[in-house]
Amino acid sequence: MLRNKICIIPKPVSMALGKGKFIITNKTIIESDPILIEVAKFFKRLLKPATGFDLLIVNSKSEINKNNTVTLNIDKEINNLGEEGYFLNINQERIIISAPSPVGVFYGIQTLRQLLPVEIESITNKSHIEWSVPSVLIKDYPRFSWRGYMLDESRHFLGKDVVKRILDMMALFKMNVFHWHLTDDQGWRIEIKKYPLLIEIGSKRKETQIGGFISKKTDNTPHEGFYTQKDVQEIVAYADKLFIKIVPEIDMPGHSKAVLAAYPELSCTEGPFEVPIKFGIKKDVFCVGKEVVFEFMQNVLDEIIQLFPSKIIHIGGDEVPKKRWKECPECQTRIKSESLKDEKGLQIYFTNRIIAFLTSRDCRVMGWNQILSDKLSEDVIGQYWIFGKKKVMKHLKKGGNIVMSKFGYTYLDYSYSFTSLSKAYRYEPIPKKLIKEYHCNILGIETPMWTEWVRNVRELDWQTYPRLIAFAETGWTLIEQKNFINFKKCLEIILKRLDILGICYAQKVEYEPHFIKKTFGFFSVFKEPKRRSLY
């Protein structure tokens, strides 16, 4: 019932509606704990364009009349909300957001934002609106600590403004990990000072396949782009203000053909290669027999570590064909000298050396679930997407952490006929067979956006929204509080916000297709999604 009156996504843990409302006016004062000054400024900036109010921020120690104030408060004594929880208390006189840490207050502000009229999202002044919020007491905290979104910028480079826009939307829905897939076969997207050819050669391709994975068509248009280290610092700082951690991914030893085009000596056959124009798995990968490959990886990672304060480095590890290693004398010598069983053992050897290096630099390693093995440290974070469920379970049972991204449910690149909004919402990150004792080892959920068939921000929006909003609720809201019917009602209001924000989300007929379309949905996986409402 309450959710019909108050629409907040993700749904909070508890809400109790009071009497009356609080109206924000140009006389409202933001009263802030000094350590929350950046959060207070964020709130002030959020309100300014639509309301036109330039609200005063005062130190919470100052003696002011508490009427008509929004108080932002750190209370370390609150100990039942976890690191990211908050209380939001709105009555007719004042608003108080209290939390044990700044991130909780920030999330309290996001909730307050969703209680305000949707026009608050406007970048132009809306003088006729009453900026009121209902009296309510909200207690809230997340179910999972990892609520992630992955963006592949190798297949298509989208650029700084698009990334910032995604980060803004993640913050609105209380998501906190941006996994940045910066390297893959079709392009290397980050400046590494020691290896300039990664950009000069690896960030450019002559043209791009169109029409789907089995299509022979190409677009006849060159594609290129990369982030300078300065760009990366700017984005990391931007994300930090939104309490979003950035986890960079440098995919290895497969998905590396853009590197091999620039430095063919790192492959088994030594090339020459071009940055591929077609998608799909490539058989040329790093040569694990050559020491120079480890030297290269360590030098690259040393620059990466300096740029990303999160200290979690994703090393990919997915889809590594073993053909080249089988035929390579140096890889075979390595297998013998290290007494490895076969080429699978060679990948484990490679992964362990990279882990040892990153551990020596105080970093935690993350990889797709293909890297998991008995021989791997439990400190590694696995990201589950396909197959290998047994290894995932084993990792969890020895105390290892997993982030869940099951492909048919969480992949945003698929058409809605394969992954409808209701299917996305239904996804439960905790495997049914996992006993309760190990549930806490599942860190949370992440939704990957692969961009083979996504060339611009409009196509990105269409694939991402509204499914992202469903995943945000799964990551935050307690399972017993989730309800798809309620979610859809709230979504209608949220989508009005997205309209104002200029987000080109998929329309209802598209995100919840007819069941006949869903029945044949799997076959759409190999094709470019049709995005009717966009064109």
105 binds, among ligand ACM, Zn ion, none (CB under 5 to 8 A by kind): none
Q: What is the DSSP string of 256-324?
A: -HHHHHH-GGGBSS-------SS-S--S--B-TT-HHHHHHHHHHHHHHHHH-TT-EEEEE------HH
385 binds, among Zn ion, ligand ACM, none (CB under 5 to 8 A by kind): ligand ACM
385 binds ligand ACM (CB under 6 A): yes
| 416 SS3 class | coil
Chain residues 260-299 in contact with Zn ion, contact rule CB under 5 A: 268, 287, 289
Cβ distance to ligand ACM smaller for residue 109 or 150? 150
328 binds, among Zn ion, ligand ACM, none (CB under 5 to 8 A by kind): Zn ion
Cβ distance to ligand ACM smaller for residue 47 or 376? 376
The DSSP element (H or E) to which 223 belongs, if any, is: strand 223-224
254 binds Zn ion (CB under 5 A): no
Chain residues 314-333 in contact with Zn ion, contact rule CB under 5 A: 328, 330-331
Cβ distance to ligand ACM smaller for residue 208 or 370? 370
CA distance 236 to 310: 10
| 181 SS3 class | strand
Pairing of strands 204-205, 245-252: unpaired
Cβ distance to ligand ACM smaller for residue 111 or 464? 464
Cβ distance to Zn ion smaller for residue 136 or 328? 328
The DSSP element (H or E) to which 470 belongs, if any, is: helix 467-476
Cβ distance to Zn ion smaller for residue 80 or 339? 339
CB neighbour list of residue 77: distance below 8 Å, 6 or more residues apart: 100
471 binds, among Zn ion, ligand ACM, none (CB under 5 to 8 A by kind): none
Residue of closest CB approach to ligand ACM: 318
| 224 SS3 class | strand
For residue 519, CA distances in Å to 24, 426, 450, 515 come to 49, 17, 23, 6
Dig out the tokens for 507 from the structure.
């329309």
145: phi then psi, degrees, rounded to nearest 5: -85, -15
In whole angstroms, how close is the CB of 286 to Zn ion at the nearest point? 8
368 binds ligand ACM (CB under 6 A): yes
289 binds, among Zn ion, ligand ACM, none (CB under 5 to 8 A by kind): Zn ion
Chain residues 304-323 in contact with ligand ACM, contact rule CB under 6 A: 318-319
149 binds ligand ACM (CB under 6 A): no
293 binds, among Zn ion, ligand ACM, none (CB under 5 to 8 A by kind): none
Helices (H) and strands (E) in the chain, counts: 19, 19
In whole angstroms, how close is the CB of 192 to ligand ACM at the nearest point? 23
Cβ distance to Zn ion smaller for residue 332 or 483? 332
Pairing of strands 56-59, 29-32: parallel
For residue 504, CA distances in Å to 461, 498, 534 come to 5, 8, 7
Cβ distance to ligand ACM smaller for residue 28 or 383? 383
307 binds, among ligand ACM, Zn ion, none (CB under 5 to 8 A by kind): none
Nearest to 116 by CA among 50, 72, 30, 32: 50
CB neighbour list of residue 165: distance below 8 Å, 6 or more residues apart: 457
Binding footprint of Zn ion on the chain (CB under 5 A): 268, 287, 289, 328, 330-331
Binding footprint of ligand ACM on the chain (CB under 6 A): 318-319, 368, 385
